[in-house]
Structure 1
Amino acid sequence: NVPSQVNTAVIPTDFGIKAGSGLNKVQAGACTGANNAPIPCNCPPAPNDPAFLGSLTKSLTQGFFPDQSVKTPITLAKFNDASDTSVQTNRDRATAMVQVLQSLSGNKGQGCPGVSYPVLVNQQKTGQLGSAAVVGAAGK
């Protein structure tokens, strides 16, 4: 029985920045990400956004996204195994999500920058699922 979609239980419920935040605060026409960096106002998508989840599923299923030069570090089955909370698996999950977000348009590098999802960047570093350290620093 091969899973056909991602297990949302292993995806943080919040990426640390809400799309549309801080419009024109730092740069005209841009919204504001972590460290007051300008980001596209549609970044990041919500963690439960169907387009994001669909692209993530595609990445985990085919082993790369958006093209073969960007290899996915984890399989769909391993990504979905909520009982595996190891540091390495959580880092690989975050990396897979970051790869998809950075190429969300379907073209390599045309998506959302890291400063639009600090929770995932922190998870890549720490291996802690949806670590709140960055969110707390961002003004909780």
Structure 2
Amino acid sequence: INTAVIPASFGVQAGDGRDRVQAGSCTGVNDAPIPCACPPAPTDPVFLASLARALRQGFFPDPSVASPIDLRRFNDAGDASPQTTADRATAMIQVLQSFSGTKGQGCPGVSFPALVSQQRSGVFGGDGSNVGVAGR
């Protein structure tokens, strides 16, 4: 995986706001409760391995969730087109939302606002502060 095309931050750090809103939970955007392990760091080996697997096999965690981009196109840092940038974000979001390996059992969207912003705008980088209320 070419980590140069992955944001340095997903916009929320795992463990932030522990027990502030709900006992046993941490907080994502707009103080929404999230699992305290969410999101993993963009450089987390398990995240990167899961992402690589998704991009190689064309889906994650099962065939019902097709990846919008393949490994070659994901890794091509020379392609900064809005479509490719948005597809990269979508692939990372798919992996994070099923991070446990089971469809839908992972990190919610409020734990990675930078990726939601990238998916919507096709623009790489940022902290997700421009996501808007609907994505928060």
Aligned residue in 2 for 1:95: 90
Q: What's the offset of the Cα at 1:131?
A: 2.5
Aligned residue in 2 for 1:47: 42
Q: Given that residues 19 and 25 in structure 2 are in contact (C-alpha distance below 8 angstroms), is that contact kept between their aligned partners in structure 1?
A: yes
- SS of the equivalent of 2:47 reads helix
Aligned residue in 2 for 1:60: 55
Which one of 13, 23, 30 corresponds to residue 28 of structure 1?
A: 23
Aligned length: 131
Letter of the 2:7 partner, please give it: P
CA 1:96 to 1:22, structure 2 compared with 1: closer, same or farther past 3 Å?
same
Aligned residue in 2 for 1:106: 101
Q: % of aligned pairs identical?
A: 64
Q: Given that residues 54 and 61 in structure 2 are in contact (C-alpha distance below 8 angstroms), is that contact kept between their aligned partners in structure 1?
A: yes
Q: Distance in 1 between matches of 2:44 and 2:128?
A: 23
Which one of 80, 86, 92 corresponds to residue 75 of structure 2?
A: 80
Q: Distance in 1 between matches of 2:128 and 2:46?
A: 27
Q: What's the offset of the Cα at 1:62?
A: 0.2
Aligned residue in 2 for 1:13: 8
Q: What's the offset of the Cα at 1:133?
A: 5.0
Q: Given that residues 86 and 118 in structure 2 are in contact (C-alpha distance below 8 angstroms), is that contact kept between their aligned partners in structure 1?
A: yes
Q: What is the TM-score normalised by the length of structure 2?
A: 0.93
RMSD: 1.3
Letter of the 1:95 partner, please give it: T
Q: What's the offset of the Cα at 1:134?
A: 1.4
Q: What is the TM-score normalised by the length of structure 1?
A: 0.91
